[in-house]
Chain A
Amino acid sequence: MSLLSNITAATLAKDIRLEWRSKDAINSMLFFALLVVVVFSFSFDPLAEESRQIAGGLIWVSFLFAAVVALNQTWAREIRNQVLDAYRVSPAPANSLFLAKALGNFIFVAILEALMTPLFVMFYKLRPLGPAWQLIPIAALGTWALVVNGTFFAAMSLRTRAREIMLPLLLFPISIPALLAMVRSTTAILTGEESAKFWIVLLLAYDVVFTTGCLLLFETVLQAE
């Protein structure tokens, strides 16, 4: 168990360090996030009252776009120079690699969300009428839901043609209950009209179920050649 977390930490640290050095993905992602927010604001230009109804959906759709772009490059460095082979040949458990990648993606997408949110608040003049603190667990659980399955399906797509389209093709249908939960709960908080509790519990259940599923099946997927 400690070996698992040791390797997970090492891999995560390595990924962060590499990302920090090249700043490839960070820069392009940040700009992409900004673009998405601006484009959406042009496309949907509502009055304050309506904006609360739809903002929940808009925000999460834009987060979803950003997440997919981030997820698609999850394994990019491991594919170059076939580093993945080196990992597979080592005694390191596959799950530690998975967790490290998933956590890395989570941090990355969370940063993007943190940057995009103030922009949305500004453009749509949002002011939550419900208990705003609940947005934190919603964001955390929702992001993890996307990232955990996304990392898993990104690994699956490595073995397919049309790799980059395969990831969203696989991810979106499975994520529908989570997406529904994220959108409805955010809308509930923004409009203050309903309670988000059910959705938060659903997100929690979703996260538990699929994190377990991913951990059980990742080794199989990694070694499938």
Chain B
Amino acid sequence: MVTDLVKQFGRFAALRGVTADFAAGRLYSILGDNGAGKTTLLRTLAGLTPPTRGTISMLGSTSARAVCAQFGYMAHPSLLYDEMTGLENLGYFSRLYAIRDEGRCKEVITLVGLDPELSRPVGQYSQGMRQRMSLARALLHDPRVLLLDEPFSNVDLHSAREMVKLLGRMRDSGKTIFVVTHQAQLLEGTADEFVWMQAGKIVDRTPSLEPLKTP
């Protein structure tokens, strides 16, 4: 579904000529050192950063804006309002996506394993809960493509494993999922492919976590 010919410069070259083809309905784990360009790649796919050169084709369109309703994005910051409860947050975002179904917010909060009735504001959540609520926000509009940047960072092991199982189920239902993470071992056995990046390029793609050939 995704054909990707990207060359991008930030102040320096964050992505130095990335060309790849990603099939639909798979879970891809993107890994690499700090500064390898993983986050930049994800943000470019999401349409948040325009590439300096090159094109991206997602879901049949070269413009991210046109198909953005099909993207679910999640990053290390929670992308939620600290002062509102989880349900209120999702209630607001559901308006952005023109979701009419009232029960959807509760449904998706329960899906990530949290209590929709929780009256604590998100700012008081533990990191694990916050990441899960952020994931709920990304799933709210049932997107076909998920772009997740470090979803497991600072999350306790149990929550992380639950999230991975959930992602597996999502993948099985036909979603395409990209996960950027330093904790790729969590995805061993669930991910369809591991995409290794280094210095702004994709250097390898393996079906499991075998060690990378030395640079």
Interface residues, chain A, with chain B CB atoms under 8 Å away: 3, 6-7, 10-11, 14, 17-18, 21-22, 77, 80-83, 85-92, 223, 225
Contact = CB atoms under 8 A, between A and B. Distances in A.
Given A82-B75, A88-B48, A10 B81 contact: no
17 contacts: A7-B95, A10-B92, A14-B84, A14-B92, A17-B84, A81-B79, A83-B79, A85-B48, A86-B137, A88-B48, A89-B46, A89-B47, A89-B68, A90-B69, A90-B96, A90-B97, A92-B97
Q: Which of A10, A86, A87, A91 gathers most chain B CB within 10 Å?
A: A86
Contacts of A3: 98
Contact of B83 (A6, A22, A91): A22
Given A6-B95, A10-B92, A89-B47, A18 B77 contact: no
Contacts of A88: 47-48
B93 interface: yes
B88 to A, nearest CB: 8
A81 B80 contact: yes
Contacts of A91: 68-69, 96-98
Contact of B96 (A21, A77, A92, A225): A92
Contacts of B47: 88-89
B126 interface: no
B73 A85 contact: yes
Given A82-B77, A89-B68, A225-B48, A18 B83 contact: yes
Contacts of B95: 6-7, 10
A90 B93 contact: yes
B71 interface: yes
B82 interface: yes
Given A85-B48, A90-B68, A18 B84 contact: yes
B78 interface: yes
A120 to B, nearest CB: 33
A7 B81 contact: no
Given A7-B96, A90-B68, A92-B96, A80 B82 contact: yes
B154 interface: no
Nearest to B121: A21
A53 to B, nearest CB: 45
A87 B81 contact: no
Given A89-B47, A90-B96, A225-B49, A83 B68 contact: no
A55 B79 CA distance: 45
